[in-house]
Amino acid sequence: MERPADTREGCKHRCTDAAMEYFKAEVMEMCHRENLYQIDLLNGSKNRITEREYWAKRKGQAALDKENASQAATGEPPKQTKFETDKEKLRHTIRAALSSAVSFEDFSGKLLQQGVTVKESRGRLSYLTPDRTKPITARKLGDDFDRAAVLEALTINAQNAARAAET
């Protein structure tokens, strides 16, 4: 908290970044004290799923289940049992490329083979799938897909590859 007036009753509220961090920490502490389910408000999510994506997945799964039931009634096996949103497919594709890549060029090349273009602009990564015209920023996918996390995973992969080459 910056000023004593930020938490004093009757004073004008001025929302600053420090005040928001303090309030988030207080809410988390209150939930912990009352034994309530608590999500981490201070740190970002590894998989950032918005409410819109959540409901798209729910409705898509319901439609897929209905389609599979009609196929089962005719005796055909279901083609797909689990519905995935476009962002979820992109997350899986990025994780698969990230697990084996050792450099950023290697990473972007492996994604390009899958049809995903990686672009870095202003220190941020964005991913363009073939069926979209507007790229999806790493911020919308989660903290595991931003530039810092990707570069960290690539350096770990490079170190592991160097160790494997030595032995």
Q: How far is CA 109 from CA 113, 117, 136, 143, 164, in A?
A: 6, 9, 18, 22, 22
Average pLDDT of the residues in 16-42: 85
pTM: 0.73
Three-class SS of residue 131? coil
**Tens digits of per-residue pLDDT, 52-108?**
989 998 999 999 899 888 888 888 888 888 888 888 999 999 999 998 888 899 999
- The tokens describing 121, both together, are 């602009």
Domain ranges of the chain: 1-43, 50-83, 85-166
**Tens digits of per-residue pLDDT, 134-163?**
999 888 888 888 888 889 999 998 898 888
**Sheet holding 136-137: strands in order across?**
117-121, 124-128, 136-137
Cα distance between residue 106 and residue 153, in whole Å = 13
